Amino acid sequence: MVVHPATHSRRESRPTAVGSARQRETVALKGFSGLALAVFVLLLVVSIILAVVLDALDVPDGWIAAEVIILNLVGLYILFALRVANQWEKAIVLRLGRFRGLKGPGPFWIVPVVDTIPAMVDHRVMVTPFTAERTLTKDSVPVNVDAVLFWVVWDAEKAVLEVEDYQTAIAWAAQTALREIIGQMDLASILVGRTVMDAELQRIIDERTTPWGITVQSVEIRDIVIPEALEDAMSRQAQAERERQARVILGESEKQIAASFAEAAQAYRDNPTALHLRAMNMLFEGLKEKGALIIVPSSAVETMNLGGLMGMASMTGALQTLIAGGQPPAPPQEG
């Protein structure tokens, strides 16, 4: 789920009669099947060839005309009566306006003029995108939500006979259900409760479309768009929360460090030798770095007698510097 700021207003996509137009186009394209057209052309060619052969054999013209008419009528009947439905389709057959039955998949026959095919119903899983723009949530926040609906026709008879255009109807039902769900939830629930929202949408839409012979397989929320000012406020709130958590963690760390120091102080108070060794070790680690500056509290120097130790360390460092420079050390002066 992606959340974007509403930087510009978008015109809400409304369901149109695309589904019905697609159905009419499908039926028009399938008015003549390729198989029926091929049989018709074959019979037409056979009738012409047979007429030429019969004329060469001095057959009376009446018989030749009868042969041509019969073969052409058979070809025309096959052209208008033979239909072919794809594996995923069901043909709705009406006889004199009344429902006759479902045909397909594969080739099937109808009675020309008497039977009609108003629709070819697709039984594959269909995808319908829908949206709800500038819809107020329960806490009066306008949001734009885009979603995708996956559905399938399980009863072609109900889908065609119970509703005028089932594809447009399911798009409208999905959009109104989405608006209803948004109005019942606050913004926080919408942002974090996508799974709950998907399940509730599926339940509501499925209840509305089941009488039409349509079942909803799933609903997926694609995008949630909130106002830009609100997104900035939420970002500042999240940043402040992260800073608060960081300060809390830092405070807990300081408490743990202070407890460790208190425990070490108790150990060093009962064992001065260990304290002196620790101090000497700290000085040694500091003096290993060239140009290191060590600041030692005067109280620590007096308590642990570090003055002589630090003087010796300084003298040793000076002697090492002079020897490295090739100058002998100056003799001590007698006072």
Calculate helix-pair angle for 272-287, 228-269, nearest 10 degrees: 120
SS3 239: helix
Label residue 57 by pLDDT band (50, 70, 90): confident
pLDDT exceeds cutoff 90 at 252: no
Please provide the DSSP assignment of 204-217 as one string: HHHHHHGGGTEEEE
pLDDT at 258: 80
Using DSSP bridges, classify how beta strands 2-6 and 214-227 pair: parallel, antiparallel or unpaired. Answer: parallel
pLDDT, position 296: 61
- For 111-165, the pLDDT digits (tens) are 998 999 988 999 999 999 998 888 888 888 888 889 999 999 999 999 998 888 8
Q: Dihedral of the CA atoms 112, 114, 118, 119 (nearest 10)?
A: -60
Q: Residue 28 region, left (φ>0) first, then alpha (ψ -120 to 50), else beta?
A: alpha
Q: Cβ neighbours of residue 217 under 8 Å, at least 6 residues apart?
A: 125, 150, 151, 152
How much of the chain exceeds pLDDT 90, in percent? 23
- Architecture of the CATH domain 2-18+124-231: 2-Layer Sandwich (3.30)
CA distance 145 to 194: 11
Q: What integer is the mean pLDDT of 19-33?
A: 51
β-pairing, 82-85 vs 106-109, is antiparallel
Note the maximum CA span of the chain.
Answer: 161
12, 178 in Cβ contact below 8 A?
no
pLDDT-based confidence at residue 319 (cuts at 50, 70, 90) = low
Residues 258-297: pLDDT tens digits?
Answer: 888 777 777 777 776 676 667 767 666 666 665 566 666 6
pLDDT for residue 46 is more than 50:
yes
Answer for the pair 94, 118: CB distance below 8 angstroms, yes or no. yes
**What's the CA gap between 32 and 77, in Å, rounded?**
11
CA proximity to 128, closest of 146, 111, 115, 143: 146
Opening angle at CA 300, ends 298 and 304, nearest 5: 125
Q: How far apart are CA 17 and CA 25, in angstroms?
A: 12
**pLDDT attached to residue 308:** 55
In whole angstroms, give the CA distance from residue 27 to residue 34: 14
Q: Is 258 left (phi over 0), alpha (psi -120 to 50) or beta?
A: alpha
Q: Whole-angstrom Cα distance, residue 100 to residue 118?
A: 12
